[in-house]
Structure 1
Amino acid sequence: MKEIIDKQRIAVIGAGGHAKVVASTLMAVGHKVIGFYDDDPQKWGESIFGVPIIGPISDLNRANCDGAIIGLGDNHVRKQVATTMDLNWITVIHPFAWVHPEVPLGAGTIVCAGAIVQPSAIIGAHVILNTKASVDHDCIVGDYVHIAVAHLAGGASVDEGVFLALGSTVLPGLNVGAWAHLGAGAVATKNIPAGCIAVGSPARTIKSAVEAA
Protein backbone atom coordinates (compact mmCIF):
# COMPACT_ATOMS: atom_id res chain seq x y z
CA MET A 1 0.00 0.00 0.00
CA LYS A 2 0.98 3.65 -0.28
CA GLU A 3 3.57 4.87 2.22
CA ILE A 4 2.60 8.52 2.59
CA ILE A 5 4.30 10.17 5.55
CA ASP A 6 2.33 13.11 6.92
CA LYS A 7 4.09 16.38 7.65
CA GLN A 8 7.62 15.15 8.22
CA ARG A 9 11.07 16.38 7.21
CA ILE A 10 11.70 15.28 3.63
CA ALA A 11 14.85 15.68 1.53
CA VAL A 12 14.82 15.94 -2.25
CA ILE A 13 17.64 14.44 -4.32
CA GLY A 14 18.32 16.68 -7.29
CA ALA A 15 17.92 20.42 -7.77
CA GLY A 16 16.72 20.79 -11.35
CA GLY A 17 13.33 21.30 -12.94
CA HIS A 18 11.82 17.99 -11.88
CA ALA A 19 13.06 18.52 -8.33
CA LYS A 20 11.03 21.74 -8.24
CA VAL A 21 7.90 19.77 -9.16
CA VAL A 22 8.69 17.16 -6.51
CA ALA A 23 9.23 19.81 -3.84
CA SER A 24 6.05 21.69 -4.70
CA THR A 25 4.10 18.42 -4.57
CA LEU A 26 5.55 17.61 -1.15
CA MET A 27 4.63 21.07 0.10
CA ALA A 28 1.12 20.79 -1.33
CA VAL A 29 0.41 17.79 0.91
CA GLY A 30 1.96 19.37 4.00
CA HIS A 31 5.46 17.93 4.13
CA LYS A 32 8.40 20.09 5.18
CA VAL A 33 11.15 20.03 2.55
CA ILE A 34 14.36 20.41 4.54
CA GLY A 35 16.83 20.59 1.67
CA PHE A 36 17.95 19.62 -1.82
CA TYR A 37 21.03 17.49 -2.54
CA ASP A 38 22.67 17.77 -5.95
CA ASP A 39 26.10 16.89 -7.34
CA ASP A 40 26.49 20.19 -9.21
CA PRO A 41 28.68 22.35 -6.92
CA GLN A 42 27.55 25.51 -8.69
CA LYS A 43 24.11 25.01 -7.14
CA TRP A 44 25.29 24.58 -3.56
CA GLY A 45 24.25 27.46 -1.33
CA GLU A 46 21.41 28.48 -3.64
CA SER A 47 17.76 27.83 -2.79
CA ILE A 48 14.49 26.69 -4.33
CA PHE A 49 11.27 28.02 -2.78
CA GLY A 50 13.44 29.30 0.07
CA VAL A 51 14.80 25.79 0.75
CA PRO A 52 18.60 25.43 0.56
CA ILE A 53 20.55 23.30 -1.88
CA ILE A 54 22.79 21.78 0.75
CA GLY A 55 25.48 19.81 -1.04
CA PRO A 56 26.27 16.59 -2.90
CA ILE A 57 23.95 13.59 -2.88
CA SER A 58 26.49 11.58 -0.90
CA ASP A 59 26.00 13.94 2.08
CA LEU A 60 22.42 12.74 2.56
CA ASN A 61 21.72 9.97 5.07
CA ARG A 62 18.94 8.80 7.37
CA ALA A 63 20.10 11.13 10.13
CA ASN A 64 19.44 14.18 7.93
CA CYS A 65 15.75 13.59 7.31
CA ASP A 66 12.64 11.53 8.06
CA GLY A 67 12.30 10.51 4.42
CA ALA A 68 13.53 11.26 0.92
CA ILE A 69 12.41 11.23 -2.68
CA ILE A 70 14.46 11.35 -5.87
CA GLY A 71 13.80 14.45 -7.97
CA LEU A 72 15.77 13.26 -11.01
CA GLY A 73 14.01 12.61 -14.29
CA ASP A 74 16.58 10.25 -15.81
CA ASN A 75 15.39 6.69 -15.17
CA HIS A 76 18.87 5.15 -15.15
CA VAL A 77 20.19 7.71 -12.66
CA ARG A 78 17.12 7.32 -10.47
CA LYS A 79 17.71 3.56 -10.30
CA GLN A 80 21.38 4.03 -9.49
CA VAL A 81 20.58 6.39 -6.61
CA ALA A 82 17.73 4.24 -5.27
CA THR A 83 19.78 1.06 -5.25
CA THR A 84 22.91 2.55 -3.68
CA MET A 85 21.46 4.74 -0.92
CA ASP A 86 19.88 3.52 2.31
CA LEU A 87 17.06 6.01 2.85
CA ASN A 88 13.40 5.93 3.79
CA TRP A 89 11.89 6.42 0.33
CA ILE A 90 8.45 7.98 0.47
CA THR A 91 5.55 8.16 -1.95
CA VAL A 92 3.68 11.39 -2.65
CA ILE A 93 0.42 12.11 -4.48
CA HIS A 94 -0.48 15.67 -5.45
CA PRO A 95 -3.85 16.73 -4.03
CA PHE A 96 -5.02 17.53 -7.57
CA ALA A 97 -4.21 14.01 -8.78
CA TRP A 98 -6.53 11.01 -8.43
CA VAL A 99 -5.40 7.50 -7.58
CA HIS A 100 -7.92 4.76 -6.90
CA PRO A 101 -7.64 3.91 -3.18
CA GLU A 102 -6.79 0.25 -3.78
CA VAL A 103 -3.94 0.88 -6.24
CA PRO A 104 -0.52 0.01 -4.76
CA LEU A 105 2.23 2.56 -5.31
CA GLY A 106 5.86 1.56 -4.85
CA ALA A 107 8.30 3.38 -2.60
CA GLY A 108 9.66 6.64 -3.96
CA THR A 109 6.91 7.12 -6.55
CA ILE A 110 5.45 10.57 -7.28
CA VAL A 111 2.02 11.24 -8.78
CA CYS A 112 1.97 14.80 -10.08
CA ALA A 113 -0.86 17.29 -10.47
CA GLY A 114 -3.61 16.21 -12.85
CA ALA A 115 -2.47 12.58 -13.10
CA ILE A 116 -5.07 9.80 -12.92
CA VAL A 117 -4.63 6.16 -11.94
CA GLN A 118 -7.67 3.92 -12.38
CA PRO A 119 -8.72 0.76 -10.47
CA SER A 120 -6.67 -2.46 -10.53
CA ALA A 121 -3.55 -0.75 -11.82
CA ILE A 122 -0.19 -1.58 -10.23
CA ILE A 123 2.51 1.09 -9.98
CA GLY A 124 6.12 0.20 -9.18
CA ALA A 125 8.83 1.95 -7.18
CA HIS A 126 10.47 5.29 -8.02
CA VAL A 127 7.98 5.92 -10.83
CA ILE A 128 7.23 9.40 -12.14
CA LEU A 129 3.61 9.87 -13.17
CA ASN A 130 4.09 13.37 -14.46
CA THR A 131 1.61 16.19 -14.98
CA LYS A 132 -1.66 14.88 -16.50
CA ALA A 133 -0.34 11.35 -17.04
CA SER A 134 -3.09 8.73 -17.10
CA VAL A 135 -2.95 5.04 -16.27
CA ASP A 136 -6.16 3.17 -16.97
CA HIS A 137 -7.64 0.07 -15.35
CA ASP A 138 -5.55 -3.11 -15.00
CA CYS A 139 -2.33 -1.50 -16.20
CA ILE A 140 1.06 -2.51 -14.82
CA VAL A 141 3.83 0.07 -14.51
CA GLY A 142 7.29 -1.25 -13.64
CA ASP A 143 9.94 0.32 -11.41
CA TYR A 144 11.80 3.46 -12.55
CA VAL A 145 9.28 4.28 -15.28
CA HIS A 146 8.66 7.90 -16.31
CA ILE A 147 5.28 8.65 -17.87
CA ALA A 148 5.03 12.22 -19.11
CA VAL A 149 1.73 13.63 -20.45
CA ALA A 150 1.06 10.17 -21.83
CA HIS A 151 -1.71 7.59 -21.66
CA LEU A 152 -1.74 3.88 -20.88
CA ALA A 153 -5.00 2.35 -22.05
CA GLY A 154 -6.71 -0.47 -20.15
CA GLY A 155 -4.60 -3.55 -19.54
CA ALA A 156 -1.42 -2.06 -21.01
CA SER A 157 1.91 -2.60 -19.32
CA VAL A 158 5.32 -0.90 -19.31
CA ASP A 159 8.32 -2.70 -17.90
CA GLU A 160 11.19 -1.36 -15.81
CA GLY A 161 12.78 1.90 -16.89
CA VAL A 162 10.41 2.76 -19.75
CA PHE A 163 10.08 6.41 -20.78
CA LEU A 164 6.82 7.53 -22.38
CA ALA A 165 7.34 11.00 -23.83
CA LEU A 166 4.81 13.82 -24.15
CA GLY A 167 1.59 12.88 -25.90
CA SER A 168 2.43 9.21 -26.39
CA THR A 169 -0.14 6.42 -26.03
CA VAL A 170 -0.01 2.68 -25.44
CA LEU A 171 -3.14 0.97 -26.77
CA PRO A 172 -5.12 -1.57 -24.68
CA GLY A 173 -3.36 -4.73 -23.60
CA LEU A 174 -0.02 -3.92 -25.22
CA ASN A 175 3.42 -4.03 -23.62
CA VAL A 176 6.43 -1.74 -23.81
CA GLY A 177 9.59 -3.68 -22.92
CA ALA A 178 12.14 -2.70 -20.29
CA TRP A 179 14.10 0.53 -20.85
CA ALA A 180 12.35 1.27 -24.14
CA HIS A 181 11.58 4.85 -25.13
CA LEU A 182 8.30 5.86 -26.81
CA GLY A 183 8.76 9.24 -28.49
CA ALA A 184 6.58 12.33 -28.26
CA GLY A 185 3.17 11.80 -29.86
CA ALA A 186 3.90 8.15 -30.64
CA VAL A 187 1.11 5.55 -30.55
CA ALA A 188 2.07 1.97 -29.73
CA THR A 189 -0.25 -0.20 -31.83
CA LYS A 190 1.80 -3.34 -31.16
CA ASN A 191 4.22 -4.47 -28.47
CA ILE A 192 7.45 -2.47 -28.28
CA PRO A 193 10.57 -4.61 -27.69
CA ALA A 194 12.83 -3.99 -24.70
CA GLY A 195 15.53 -1.37 -25.13
CA CYS A 196 14.11 0.10 -28.33
CA ILE A 197 13.35 3.67 -29.29
CA ALA A 198 10.02 3.93 -31.15
CA VAL A 199 8.43 7.01 -32.72
CA GLY A 200 5.45 7.98 -34.84
CA SER A 201 1.84 6.90 -35.20
CA PRO A 202 1.75 3.97 -35.46
CA ALA A 203 5.01 3.72 -33.52
CA ARG A 204 7.93 2.24 -35.46
CA THR A 205 11.28 1.23 -34.04
CA ILE A 206 14.17 3.48 -35.09
CA LYS A 207 16.80 1.91 -32.84
CA SER A 208 17.08 -1.69 -31.71
CA ALA A 209 18.06 -2.77 -28.24
CA VAL A 210 21.67 -3.18 -29.42
CA GLU A 211 21.82 0.24 -31.11
CA ALA A 212 20.14 1.99 -28.16
CA ALA A 213 22.57 0.49 -25.62
Structure 2
Amino acid sequence: MKKLVLIGGGGHGKVVLDVMRAQGDYELAGIGDDKYTHSFRQDGILHGPVADMAELLQDDDCRLFIAIGSNRTRRAVMERLGYPESRYAVLIHPRATLGSGVTIGGGSVVMPGAVINHGARIGAQCIINTGAIVEHENALGSFVHISPSAALAGDVTVGDGTHIGLGAKVIEGLTIGSWSTLGAGAVAIDDIPAQCTAVGVPAKPIKFADQPGQLAQRRA
Protein backbone atom coordinates (compact mmCIF):
# COMPACT_ATOMS: atom_id res chain seq x y z
CA MET A 1 0.00 0.00 0.00
CA LYS A 2 1.39 3.40 -0.97
CA LYS A 3 1.90 6.09 1.63
CA LEU A 4 0.15 9.45 1.44
CA VAL A 5 0.98 12.89 2.82
CA LEU A 6 -2.05 15.08 3.45
CA ILE A 7 -1.60 18.86 3.31
CA GLY A 8 -4.30 20.55 5.39
CA GLY A 9 -5.50 19.56 8.83
CA GLY A 10 -8.82 21.43 8.97
CA GLY A 11 -12.40 20.27 8.54
CA HIS A 12 -12.08 19.56 4.82
CA GLY A 13 -8.91 17.62 5.53
CA LYS A 14 -10.75 15.38 7.98
CA VAL A 15 -13.40 14.60 5.34
CA VAL A 16 -10.70 13.84 2.75
CA LEU A 17 -9.02 11.55 5.26
CA ASP A 18 -12.29 9.63 5.62
CA VAL A 19 -12.42 9.22 1.82
CA MET A 20 -8.81 7.99 1.75
CA ARG A 21 -9.54 5.39 4.41
CA ALA A 22 -12.74 4.24 2.69
CA GLN A 23 -10.95 3.91 -0.65
CA GLY A 24 -8.29 1.75 0.96
CA ASP A 25 -5.46 2.39 -1.50
CA TYR A 26 -3.23 4.54 0.73
CA GLU A 27 -1.74 4.57 4.20
CA LEU A 28 -1.46 7.97 5.89
CA ALA A 29 2.19 8.92 6.48
CA GLY A 30 1.90 12.57 7.45
CA ILE A 31 -0.32 15.62 7.88
CA GLY A 32 1.28 18.93 6.96
CA ASP A 33 -0.30 22.14 8.18
CA ASP A 34 1.35 25.44 9.04
CA LYS A 35 -0.81 25.69 12.14
CA TYR A 36 1.83 23.43 13.70
CA THR A 37 4.89 25.19 15.12
CA HIS A 38 6.96 22.00 15.28
CA SER A 39 6.85 18.41 14.10
CA PHE A 40 5.81 15.41 16.17
CA ARG A 41 4.70 11.84 15.61
CA GLN A 42 1.40 10.46 16.81
CA ASP A 43 0.54 6.80 16.19
CA GLY A 44 3.42 6.69 13.73
CA ILE A 45 2.07 9.59 11.63
CA LEU A 46 4.18 12.72 11.19
CA HIS A 47 2.37 15.98 12.04
CA GLY A 48 4.05 19.31 11.39
CA PRO A 49 4.51 22.36 9.18
CA VAL A 50 4.14 21.79 5.45
CA ALA A 51 7.89 22.19 4.86
CA ASP A 52 8.60 19.29 7.22
CA MET A 53 6.73 16.87 4.95
CA ALA A 54 9.66 17.00 2.49
CA GLU A 55 11.42 14.16 4.30
CA LEU A 56 8.49 11.82 3.59
CA LEU A 57 8.18 12.97 -0.01
CA GLN A 58 11.78 12.02 -0.73
CA ASP A 59 10.29 8.57 -1.33
CA ASP A 60 9.15 8.71 -4.96
CA ASP A 61 6.36 6.24 -4.22
CA CYS A 62 4.85 8.49 -1.55
CA ARG A 63 1.83 10.39 -2.84
CA LEU A 64 0.55 13.82 -1.88
CA PHE A 65 -2.88 15.38 -1.46
CA ILE A 66 -3.81 19.02 -0.77
CA ALA A 67 -6.90 18.85 1.43
CA ILE A 68 -7.80 22.55 1.47
CA GLY A 69 -11.27 23.77 0.49
CA SER A 70 -10.29 27.15 -0.99
CA ASN A 71 -9.60 26.84 -4.72
CA ARG A 72 -7.09 29.70 -4.75
CA THR A 73 -5.26 28.38 -1.70
CA ARG A 74 -5.04 24.90 -3.23
CA ARG A 75 -3.45 26.40 -6.34
CA ALA A 76 -1.04 28.50 -4.27
CA VAL A 77 0.04 25.51 -2.19
CA MET A 78 0.54 23.34 -5.28
CA GLU A 79 2.70 26.05 -6.85
CA ARG A 80 4.65 26.44 -3.60
CA LEU A 81 5.32 22.71 -3.31
CA GLY A 82 6.44 22.35 -6.92
CA TYR A 83 5.58 18.67 -7.39
CA PRO A 84 4.16 17.47 -10.73
CA GLU A 85 0.53 16.39 -11.01
CA SER A 86 1.66 12.76 -11.19
CA ARG A 87 2.74 12.88 -7.52
CA TYR A 88 -0.81 13.62 -6.39
CA ALA A 89 -3.30 10.93 -5.42
CA VAL A 90 -6.84 10.73 -6.79
CA LEU A 91 -9.26 9.91 -3.97
CA ILE A 92 -12.67 8.43 -4.80
CA HIS A 93 -15.12 7.28 -2.16
CA PRO A 94 -16.47 3.78 -2.89
CA ARG A 95 -20.03 5.13 -2.63
CA ALA A 96 -19.44 7.56 -5.50
CA THR A 97 -20.65 6.54 -8.98
CA LEU A 98 -18.43 6.97 -12.05
CA GLY A 99 -19.57 6.29 -15.60
CA SER A 100 -17.52 4.94 -18.46
CA GLY A 101 -14.82 7.10 -19.97
CA VAL A 102 -14.54 9.45 -16.98
CA THR A 103 -11.10 10.99 -16.40
CA ILE A 104 -10.00 12.63 -13.16
CA GLY A 105 -6.84 14.69 -12.67
CA GLY A 106 -4.30 14.28 -9.89
CA GLY A 107 -5.13 15.78 -6.52
CA SER A 108 -8.90 15.57 -7.03
CA VAL A 109 -11.38 14.05 -4.59
CA VAL A 110 -14.83 12.56 -5.25
CA MET A 111 -16.99 12.44 -2.13
CA PRO A 112 -19.66 9.86 -1.19
CA GLY A 113 -22.89 10.00 -3.17
CA ALA A 114 -21.38 12.01 -6.01
CA VAL A 115 -22.22 10.96 -9.57
CA ILE A 116 -19.93 11.61 -12.54
CA ASN A 117 -21.44 10.32 -15.76
CA HIS A 118 -20.11 9.10 -19.09
CA GLY A 119 -17.18 10.90 -20.65
CA ALA A 120 -16.89 13.69 -18.09
CA ARG A 121 -13.40 15.17 -17.71
CA ILE A 122 -12.37 16.43 -14.28
CA GLY A 123 -9.19 18.49 -14.03
CA ALA A 124 -6.48 18.45 -11.38
CA GLN A 125 -7.06 19.50 -7.77
CA CYS A 126 -10.87 19.44 -8.01
CA ILE A 127 -13.45 18.75 -5.30
CA ILE A 128 -16.59 16.87 -6.35
CA ASN A 129 -18.41 17.14 -3.06
CA THR A 130 -21.04 15.02 -1.36
CA GLY A 131 -24.02 14.21 -3.57
CA ALA A 132 -22.89 16.44 -6.45
CA ILE A 133 -23.92 15.47 -10.00
CA VAL A 134 -21.60 15.99 -12.97
CA GLU A 135 -23.47 14.81 -16.04
CA HIS A 136 -22.22 13.29 -19.29
CA GLU A 137 -19.38 14.91 -21.23
CA ASN A 138 -18.85 17.80 -18.84
CA ALA A 139 -15.40 19.40 -18.94
CA LEU A 140 -14.12 20.81 -15.65
CA GLY A 141 -10.85 22.71 -15.43
CA SER A 142 -8.42 22.48 -12.53
CA PHE A 143 -9.02 23.76 -8.96
CA VAL A 144 -12.82 23.54 -9.40
CA HIS A 145 -15.18 22.87 -6.47
CA ILE A 146 -18.63 21.40 -7.11
CA SER A 147 -20.39 21.79 -3.76
CA PRO A 148 -22.73 19.29 -2.08
CA SER A 149 -25.96 18.61 -4.01
CA ALA A 150 -24.96 20.89 -6.91
CA ALA A 151 -25.86 19.55 -10.36
CA LEU A 152 -24.36 20.17 -13.80
CA ALA A 153 -26.45 18.96 -16.75
CA GLY A 154 -24.79 17.46 -19.84
CA ASP A 155 -22.09 19.17 -21.91
CA VAL A 156 -21.32 21.87 -19.35
CA THR A 157 -17.87 23.49 -19.32
CA VAL A 158 -16.50 24.89 -16.06
CA GLY A 159 -13.31 26.96 -16.13
CA ASP A 160 -10.34 26.72 -13.79
CA GLY A 161 -10.85 27.74 -10.18
CA THR A 162 -14.63 28.07 -10.30
CA HIS A 163 -16.85 27.31 -7.31
CA ILE A 164 -20.35 25.96 -7.93
CA GLY A 165 -22.19 26.61 -4.66
CA LEU A 166 -24.33 24.41 -2.47
CA GLY A 167 -27.33 23.08 -4.40
CA ALA A 168 -26.68 25.25 -7.46
CA LYS A 169 -27.84 24.03 -10.88
CA VAL A 170 -26.48 24.56 -14.41
CA ILE A 171 -28.57 23.61 -17.45
CA GLU A 172 -27.09 21.71 -20.38
CA GLY A 173 -24.50 23.10 -22.75
CA LEU A 174 -23.48 26.18 -20.75
CA THR A 175 -20.04 27.57 -19.98
CA ILE A 176 -19.17 28.84 -16.51
CA GLY A 177 -16.07 31.01 -16.78
CA SER A 178 -12.82 30.62 -14.86
CA TRP A 179 -12.48 31.74 -11.24
CA SER A 180 -16.16 32.55 -10.90
CA THR A 181 -18.62 31.67 -8.14
CA LEU A 182 -22.16 30.46 -8.74
CA GLY A 183 -23.90 31.09 -5.43
CA ALA A 184 -25.76 28.57 -3.31
CA GLY A 185 -29.12 27.62 -4.80
CA ALA A 186 -28.54 29.60 -8.00
CA VAL A 187 -29.79 28.28 -11.35
CA ALA A 188 -27.69 29.13 -14.41
CA ILE A 189 -29.72 29.21 -17.64
CA ASP A 190 -27.17 31.34 -19.54
CA ASP A 191 -23.38 31.31 -19.71
CA ILE A 192 -21.65 32.88 -16.70
CA PRO A 193 -18.57 35.01 -17.50
CA ALA A 194 -15.16 34.59 -15.92
CA GLN A 195 -14.16 36.14 -12.59
CA CYS A 196 -17.60 37.05 -11.36
CA THR A 197 -20.06 36.11 -8.66
CA ALA A 198 -23.51 35.13 -9.95
CA VAL A 199 -26.54 34.46 -7.75
CA GLY A 200 -30.28 33.97 -7.98
CA VAL A 201 -32.88 32.19 -10.11
CA PRO A 202 -32.04 32.69 -12.88
CA ALA A 203 -28.43 33.40 -11.98
CA LYS A 204 -27.13 36.90 -12.74
CA PRO A 205 -23.68 38.39 -12.06
CA ILE A 206 -23.64 40.75 -9.09
CA LYS A 207 -19.93 41.62 -9.10
CA PHE A 208 -16.78 41.11 -11.12
CA ALA A 209 -13.34 40.51 -9.64
CA ASP A 210 -11.57 42.95 -11.97
CA GLN A 211 -14.10 45.81 -11.72
CA PRO A 212 -16.27 45.33 -8.63
CA GLY A 213 -17.84 48.77 -9.00
CA GLN A 214 -18.58 48.54 -12.72
CA LEU A 215 -21.35 45.93 -12.86
CA ALA A 216 -23.82 48.21 -14.66
CA GLN A 217 -21.29 48.94 -17.41
CA ARG A 218 -20.47 45.24 -17.85
CA ARG A 219 -24.19 44.41 -18.20
CA ALA A 220 -24.77 47.14 -20.79
Normalising by the residue count of structure 2, what TM-score does the alignment of the two structures yield? 0.86
Aligned amino acid, residue 33 of structure 1: L
Of 76-85 and 170-179, more deviation after overlay is shown by: 76-85
1:62-101, aligned counterparts within 5 Å? 62-63=57-58, 66-87=62-83, 88-101=87-100
Measure, in 1, the Cα distance between the counterparts of 2:49 and 2:211: 33
Give the equivalent residue in structure 2 for 1:4: none
CA pair 212-96 structure 1, distance change in 2 beyond 3 A: farther
Corresponding residue of 2:16? 22
For the residues of structure 2 that align with 1:212 and 1:143, how far apart are their CA atoms?
Answer: 24
Work out the CA distance in 2 between the residues paired with 1:76 and 1:203. 23
Correspondence 1:58 to 2:59: no
| Regions of 4+ moved over 4 Å | 42-47, 50-53
Give yes or no for contact 2:28–2:45 (8 Å, CA) kept in 1. Answer: no
Counterparts of 1:86 and 1:151, CA distance in 2: 33
Unaligned ranges ≥5, structure 2:
214-220
2:37 and 2:49 in contact (8 A); partners too: no
Which string of whole-angstrom CA distances, capped at 9 and with x for unpartnered residues, describes residues 86-135 of structure 1?
Answer: 44111111000011242111111111111110001111000000111110
Q: Is the 8 A contact 1:136 1:154 kept in 2?
A: yes
Q: Are the equivalent residues in 1 in contact too, given 2:30–2:53 (CA < 8 A)? A: no
- Please name the residue that 1:209 is paired with: 209
Q: Percentage identity across aligned positions?
A: 38
**1:51 offset after TM fit, Å?**
7.5
The 10-residue stretch of structure 1 (59-68 or 106-115) with the greater mean CA deviation from structure 2: 59-68
CA distance in 1, matches of 2:46, 2:136: 39
Post-superposition CA distance 1:140-183 (Å, at most 9, x none): 11000011121110011110000011000111001110000011
Q: What is the alpha-carbon distance in structure 2 between the residues aligned to residue 10 and residue 97 of structure 1? A: 21
How many Å separate the matches in 1 of 2:10 and 2:44?
A: 13
Separation in structure 2 between the aligned mates of residue 117 and residue 193 of structure 1, nearest angstrom: 24
Structure 1 window deviating more from structure 2 (34-43 vs 131-140): it is 34-43
Residue equivalent to 2:198: 198
Secondary structure at 1:95 match in 2: coil
CA distance in 2 between partners of 1:116 and 1:110 (Å): 12
Higher gyration radius (CA): 2
SS in 1 for 2:210: helix
Distance in 1, matches of 2:209 and 2:169, equals 21
SS at match of 2:104: coil
2:5 partner letter:
A
Query: Unaligned stretches of 5+ in structure 1?
Result: 1-6
Aligned CA distance change for structure 1 residues 60 and 212 (closer, same or farther; 3 Å)? farther
| TM-score, structure 1 normalization | 0.89
Query: Which residue of structure 2 lines up, in the alignment, with residue 41 of structure 1?
Result: 36
Contact kept? 2:39, 2:52, Cα under 8 Å: no
Question: By how many angstroms is 1:83 displaced?
Answer: 2.3
Cα pair 1:29 1:94 within 8 Å, conserved: yes
Say if 1:38 and 1:53, in contact at 8 Å, map to a contact too: no
Q: How many residues align?
A: 205
Residue 162 of structure 2 corresponds to which residue in structure 1?
162
What is the alpha-carbon distance in structure 2 between the residues aligned to residue 157 and residue 180 of structure 1? 12
